[in-house]
Amino acid sequence: MMLLILCIRDVDIKRVKIAGKFVLYFDEIDKGSLSSVGGKGANLGEMTKAGFPVPQGFCVTTSAYQAFIQISNDMSNFFTDLDRIDADCLNEIRLMGKQIRSHLESISIPDDIQSAILEAWQRFGQNKAYAVRSSATAEDLPTASFAGQQETYLNVRGQEQLLESVRSCWASLFTDRAISYRAKNGFDHRLVFLSVVVQEMIFPDISGIMFTANPITGNRKVTSIDASFGLGEALVSGLVSADLYQVRDSKIIEKKISNKKLAIYAVPEGGTVTKDLLPEQQKVQALPDERIIELAELGRKIEGHYGSEQDIEWCFADERFYIVQSRPITSLYPIPSFSDNQLHVLISIGHIQMMTEEMKPLGISIFQTAIPIALEAGGRVFADITPMLSIKLLRKKLPLALRHMDDQLGAALEEVVDRYTSQFPSKRIPIRKITSFARPIIKIIIKNLFVNDPEQGRTIVTNLVDKSVQSCRESMLETSDPMRIGAIKNDLRNVISSDLPKVVPYWVTSIFALNIVKYLLQKWIGDSEKIHLLERSLPGNITSELGLVIGDLADIVRQSPELIGYLQTRTDDNFYDGLDDISGGYAFRQGMELFMRSYGMRCPGEIDISKPRWREMPTTLVSAIMSHVRTVAPREHRDKFRQGAMEAEEAAREIVAQVLKNKGAFKARIIKRLIYVYRNLGGLREHHKYLVVQHFDIYRKVITDEAKMFIKTGVLSQETDIFYLTMDELNTVASGNLKQNVTPLMEERKKQLELNKKLIPPRVMTSEGEIITGRRRTVKAPEGSLIGTPVSAGIVEGYARVVLHPEEAKLNLGEIMIAPFTDPGWTPLFHSAKGLVMEIGGMMTHGAVIAREYGIPSVVGIDDATVIIKNGDYIRVNGTKGYVEVLKKSETPTS
């Protein structure tokens, strides 16, 4: 779209001075001719000049279209009406489109344009047949396909048919689908022009489409070819199932021969006809093997010329191939570049951290500083775990561990190991190096399991976190050292290498303790139906406590209608102004200040340092507080937490009693000790992230302080621009070594961020671009159920509430929250939800753990749950078996 705007910005159709030729021949055109001949025409000219086998032809330029439009006295009003139309108003679009097309088809083509078209036509031959295709300035771009929005006319013969087809192509810029597409994607209707491609018609025996990357899996090494008899229009329009051939390294790796029942052919008088194929022809392989290889090699040459994967329309006639179109494949997820030819396996950090949104460059470079194996792709962070897969033990254990983070991610990695093990040569584990790292951690875990007082463990971890954060604060916030930007890297590396290894073993101990309890109970007495209750209301969980404080704030708010009205009209800049002058305001302000001291550094998507924190945007908490007011009774959140703790204690007593009765006092003491360890250390699962997020908040304060200085010196125009720099670039600016204007760089990265927003990151992919999805587990569930992973036991029914952003949530009493994912920034909503369904997650992710603590039935790992399930649908969540049933669709989705 930006290419388009740069070419034709600020054009007024009524006043534009038409300049340039009305006709350009293919050999006069290249990829820089977009504004004159549109995407399709530019590509055909580019390939012609590059020597590819393109049927000859010419383009009726956008200048001709503009001159034609200028004849109309009504188009200005039509454009004004189009500006107001919404992409979803299909009936209004249909009526307006029909009206505009009828109007344009009633206008005669100006004589000078007709003369230019006919002169070119006569040059190539009046007796030949032609394909006449629309070519808009907003199609076949690297970032927007726009394919198929306008019309194509085949086997056009004679002067009258030619001119009529050109005019119909111009009118087709206002088809229903074209209007809707532009409205949806933000294209100004005035700034999209149309060229018309007139190309010598080829009457092929075989035709089809070729992708130089597998369009389904994304694998860049695989060429995918669809082929059928006759003209390609039968395939493109979906009238016929084509043969599928896949080629890799000049070898056919897959062939699927379809039952091709019909084909489209040209007729002598012009136009086309659809014919049934003879039964003996329907199952014949359309393209011979040697031709498949030849076509694939031609596709690779075209890809090499453009430097990107291509979607190519081709045909085969008179024993040779012709290319009739090539455009970039815009649907592939980007992949990082690698210097070697080894297969690399990448896993999404965002799916592990429950934040799959696009990130700005600074957030990504912070991650790359913390995790050396981190790579950027599509504005997200991926980890290259290839070295780990060379170690036999990790090949087995890593997929199992990742299943706890996100079940589908673990399943995908299992598929990788099954398929590609031979490409990961086994390496010996460097025992000495691993032992020196693991020994102190294992020592802490063993002592915690059997010797140390776990209650003291909570104090130890809290002190470790506080000490680390205080040291960072003193070194960075209590000094004006200009080198503190550079110190961020050193501090972050110290947190990862030194502080986290001291904190994590305490939480890991709790996992070992619970798993040992489950194993021993299975072995000694069979599964206990009470064991899931042990996870309720764990003491010391920093995120659960956050949710409880939100409930306390809601209890203050519910007592004052004046305070409720106040909160709903505040902005971040004046959030606290005047609070002390209204009923309940002083108590609420004190509560908010206490909350911000402990949790103000948090927010949804907190792993991205560019995300504003709650301390900066307190209004983002208002929705959660008001949802709590609507759905939870006074003090109910505290009562539920206490009730959960009592249920856990009672379950522990019953389990110990069962073991005592069946296996004796010694084994009962073992179980009692392990439960005691788990209950006291299990709440520490969020502390390692809490530690990192507090450091991130300090870094953010330092960085925003520097941004204010950069604005004063004219380096940046606004504070948030600083997040579009990497850490190294930021350090260069801070040290005064900047030698260039960063504004163009900022603008380019902002455009790229907007493109990245539209991408859906895969969980697992390879360096070849192949997206691995893994095998879904089998679940016995009612027909039509949405299958996921059970993470919090129980069955609940209620109305669905889809929440895409927590700050916009409006949960009501008895509603089940449907979310893409959750992280600690979503915690304020959990007390308001009756159940939880997420698209991403596993047993040990934030939402699953909090759901179990709160006793909320939950299912995760349901792809597109936020799309399939609508607001107001009445659903049943089976958190025990792992599926969701839509019992009744909402007739009018609630807002």
Specify whether 846 is catalytic: yes
Q: Are 267 and 273 in contact (CB under 8 A)?
A: yes
For 23-200, CATH number out of 3.40.640.10, 3.40.50.2300, 3.30.1490.20, 3.50.50.60 equals 3.30.1490.20
Delimit the CATH 3.30.470.20 region(s) of the chain: 206-328
pLDDT, position 49: 95
Determine whether 757 is exposed, middle or buried from the number of CB atoms within 10 Å of its CB (0-12, 13-18, 19+): exposed
3-state SS, one letter per residue, for 789-853 = EEEECCEEEEEEEECCCHHHCCCCCCEEEEECCCCHHHHHHHHHCCEEEECCCCCCCHHHHHHHH
pLDDT, position 234: 64
Q: Which of 825, 377, 392 lies closest to 620 in space, CA to CA? A: 825
d(CA 66, CA 51): 31
User: Would you list the DSSP string of 30-47?
Assistant: -GGGHHHHHHHHHHHHHH
Q: How far is CA 136 from CA 39, 70, 128, 139, 193, in A?
A: 6, 18, 25, 6, 6
User: What value does the mean pLDDT of the chain take?
Assistant: 89
Q: How many CA atoms lie within 13 A of 257 on its CB side?
A: 9
pLDDT, position 139: 55
Q: Are 597 and 697 in contact (CB under 8 A)?
A: no
d(CA 8, CA 66): 12
CATH number corresponding to 776-888: 3.50.30.10
Q: How far is CA 888 from CA 859, 868, 893, in A?
A: 19, 13, 12
pLDDT, position 481: 66
Q: How many other C-beta atoms lie within 10 A of the C-beta of residue 807?
A: 17
Of the listed 344, 637, 688, 846, which one is catalytic? 846
Delimit the CATH 3.30.1490.20 region(s) of the chain: 23-200
Q: Are 806 and 623 in contact (CB under 8 A)?
A: yes
Q: How many CA atoms lie within 13 A of 194 on its CB side?
A: 25
pLDDT, position 372: 87
Q: Are 893 and 871 in contact (CB under 8 A)?
A: yes
d(CA 379, CA 755): 9
d(CA 838, CA 380): 20
Q: Which of 870, 887, 868 lies closest to 788 in space, CA to CA? A: 868
222: which strand partners? Answer: 248
Delimit the CATH 3.50.30.10 region(s) of the chain: 776-888
The ranges of the chain with pLDDT < 50 are: 1-19, 140-141, 143-148
Dihedral of alpha carbons 396, 398, 402, 404, sign: positive
For 206-328, CATH number out of 3.90.550.10, 3.30.470.20, 3.20.20.70, 2.70.98.40 equals 3.30.470.20
How are the residues of the chain apportioned to helix, strand and coil, as percentages rounded to the nearest 5? 50, 15, 35
d(CA 867, CA 894): 14
